[in-house]
Amino acid sequence: DIKGWCFDLHGVITDSWIYHAMAWQETAEILGVTWTDDIQEQLKGRDRMDSLEYILQVGGIQDQYTLSEKQAIAARKNKRYLKYLQKMNPSDVLPGINELLADLQADGYQMIIASASQNAPLEIEKLGLTKYFTKVVDVTQLAHNKPAPDVFLKAAEMLELDVSECVGIDDGLVGVQSINAANMVSIGVGDQQILHEADIVFPSTTDLTIANVRQAFK
């Protein structure tokens, strides 16, 4: 039976993913890499360094920078992102999510944030969701980020549940792959075609209700 809900953050709990995308686009353009919708889609859920590596690879310039130069570029990207983040507040929670979290809490389910982001604890605070998320996976302690299973395996471990008792929810392809690799039931939020590897895809966060999820996994 489902006891734990493991949530990705950007694109599931809040729409601040667009701020990541904007900060990455600025970074890509400074590096001379042309921004495309495909790059934007591929970056969903990748961690900071992996995202930068992806952009450099698309531009064919991955060998032109040393590790410390890459770290400096990634740090500048984060600075840009943190500027956008200053304005984040409870109105940035995606539609239906507050209701879902309140229902989950009332029904005694466990919840945790399984995001690739190092900024996740700060964002949960700014969104006013600390009452639901007392647990957030610390990605800096993991060997591999999404699409590897580590984040979702750690989430189940922190909830003290077996992966078979958890569902993972993500809006990105690498996130869905991470959930699947962890052997958890995977719920995608977004485009069915892009997220076709998920066990079930809901078009929007407003479709994420306990009843809909239970119905899908009867």
Give the interface with ligand BG6 as residue ranges (CB under 6 A). 9-10, 17, 20, 43-48, 51, 78, 115-119
Closest CA to 6 of 202, 149, 118, 193: 149
Nearest-approach distance from CB 157 to ligand BG6, in angstroms: 20
Nearest-approach distance from CB 218 to ligand BG6, in angstroms: 31
Judged by beta carbon, residue 78 or residue 180, the one nearer ligand BG6 is: 78
| Burial class of residue 143, CB neighbours in 10 A (0-12, 13-18, 19+) | exposed
Q: Is the dihedral of CA 175, 181, 184, 185 positive or negative?
A: positive
Judged by beta carbon, residue 55 or residue 159, the one nearer ligand BG6 is: 55
Judged by beta carbon, residue 5 or residue 81, the one nearer ligand BG6 is: 81
- For residue 201, give the amino acid letter: V
Nearest-approach distance from CB 214 to ligand BG6, in angstroms: 27
Judged by beta carbon, residue 20 or residue 156, the one nearer ligand BG6 is: 20
Judged by beta carbon, residue 59 or residue 121, the one nearer ligand BG6 is: 121
Nearest-approach distance from CB 8 to ligand BG6, in angstroms: 7
Instruction: Give the length of the chain.
Output: 218
Nearest-approach distance from CB 199 to ligand BG6, in angstroms: 21
Judged by beta carbon, residue 148 or residue 216, the one nearer ligand BG6 is: 148
State both tokens at 111: 């919840």
**Are residues 212 and 196 in contact, defined by beta-carbon separation less than 8 angstroms?**
no
Nearest-approach distance from CB 162 to ligand BG6, in angstroms: 25
Q: What is the distance between the alpha carbons of residues 178 and 124, in angstroms, rounded to a whole number?
A: 22
Nearest-approach distance from CB 180 to ligand BG6, in angstroms: 18
Judged by beta carbon, residue 4 or residue 11, the one nearer ligand BG6 is: 11
Closest CA to 185 of 160, 158, 161: 161
**Are residues 148 and 178 in contact, defined by beta-carbon separation less than 8 angstroms?**
yes
